[in-house]
Chains A and B, each alone.
Chain A
Amino acid sequence: MNSLYKCLVALVFASITLSSSAQDLVNKIPADALAVATIKGKNFTDLMSLKEFNSTFIGKEILSKLSKGTDKAVNSVEDLGFDLSSSLYYYNLSNDSISYNCFLVPVKNAEQLEALYTQANQKFIVKNGIRSYYNSDSTEVAHWNDKFLLFVIGTGKSGYFARPEVAERFKLSQAASVGQAADSLSIAVPAQDEIAVDSTMVVDSLEEVVAVPDTIGYDYGNTFFKDEQKKKAVVAGWIQLMVDDFFAGPNTTSILNNKDFIKSIDQQAEATIWIAGADKLFNTYMPSTYLKGMSFLNGYGSANAKLFLEDKSIRINTSMAFSDEIAGVFKKVLKRKLNKRFLKYINEDKAIGYLAYAMDTKAYLEQYPKLMSKIYGSVYADEIGMAADLFSLLLDEGAISKVVKGDGLFLFNGLSQKEVTYKSMDYNEENFESKEITKIKKETLPDFLFMMSSEDTRLIDKLIAYGVKKELVKNSSGYYELSVPKSPLALYFMIKEGIIFFGTNKKDMQDIAGNRYVANVSRKHRKVLMNTNYAGYFSAKKLFGKISVEEFASTKKLEKLNNVLDSMGDIYLKSNPIKGNIYSGEISMDIPSNQQNALKYLFSLVEDAQK
Chain B
Amino acid sequence: MPTIVVEVMPKAELLDPQGKAVAGALHRLGKSHFTDVRIGKRFELTVDDVNDEVIAEVRELAESVLSNSVIEDVVNIIVPEDVAAGETH
A and B are interacting partners: no
